[in-house]
Amino acid sequence: MEVSPNVVVGITYELKVSKIEEEIESVPFSVEVRDEEDPFYFVFGNSGLPEKFEEMLAGQKEGEAFQFSLTVDEAYGQAEDDMIMTFPKSQFSSQQGFSEDMLQEGNFLPLLDENGYPMQAKVLKDLGDEILLDFNHPLVGFDLHFEGNILNLREATEEEVETGIVEGYED
């Protein structure tokens, strides 16, 4: 079996990011490691991951190593100003499951979209009665550098293909 549409792919990897500022690229620094104790699983073709990420893994077999980079435009693009919004602080009360320390600048708030799917927003600024949130993906504006291995492959169930959500891994 190889990485192809409707296959559940389990990978281990280290993700490093870098950013170009004033035409100088920063040294890549590690932001995430997924090892054999906590691999990352996704349904190929319905992952919500950048298209180029899937392209780079297509055709690989279980046990194979990979190493590739995605430019900002191939990854999550640049930040969009319309994804930065102000909300009344009252919407983030303890009755809704939020604590005061969750609203600190730099924190990511766990939220649900209008369809009940999990999402997050970064707290940019406490404006007193309001809070400024950034709904851009946390990796916008970064080049992504992946190094890892294809750990497991299996056919996705009909439900996994439909939803893109992996319900667990079984050999």
DSSP string covering 120-162:
EEEEEEE-SSEEEEE-S-TTTT-EEEEEEEEEEEEEPPHHHHH
Domain shared by 56 and 130, yes or no: no
In a domain, 171, yes or no: no
Calpha distance 145→17 (Å, rounded): 6
Per-residue exposure over 94-128, b if at least 16 CB sit within 10 Å of its own CB, e if not: eeeebeeeeeeeeeebeeeeeeeeeeebbbeeeee
Calpha distance 46→162 (Å, rounded): 8
Cβ pair 6, 166 in contact under 8 A: no
Domain shared by 106 and 159, yes or no: no
Only one residue has tokens 């009252």, namely: 90
Confidence (pLDDT) at 117: 80
Show the domain range for 109.
81-134
SS3 34: strand
Per-residue pLDDT reduced to its tens digit, 44-79? 999 989 999 999 999 999 999 999 999 999 999 999
Confidence (pLDDT) at 171: 41
10-residue averages of pLDDT along the chain (171 residues): 96 94 79 95 94 97 98 95 94 88 92 85 94 94 96 95 79 41
Confidence (pLDDT) at 170: 47
At 55, which helix (H) or strand (E)? helix 51-57
Calpha distance 133→11 (Å, rounded): 32
Whichever domain contains 58, its CATH number is: 3.10.50.40
In a domain, 115, yes or no: yes
At 52, which helix (H) or strand (E)? helix 51-57
Confidence (pLDDT) at 60: 98
Q: Which DSSP state fits 104?
A: S
In a domain, 24, yes or no: yes
Calpha distance 70→143 (Å, rounded): 6
Domain shared by 103 and 147, yes or no: no
Confidence (pLDDT) at 167: 82
In a domain, 157, yes or no: yes
In a domain, 2, yes or no: no
Domain count of the chain?
2
Closest Cα partner for 67 from 55, 75, 54, 56?
A: 56
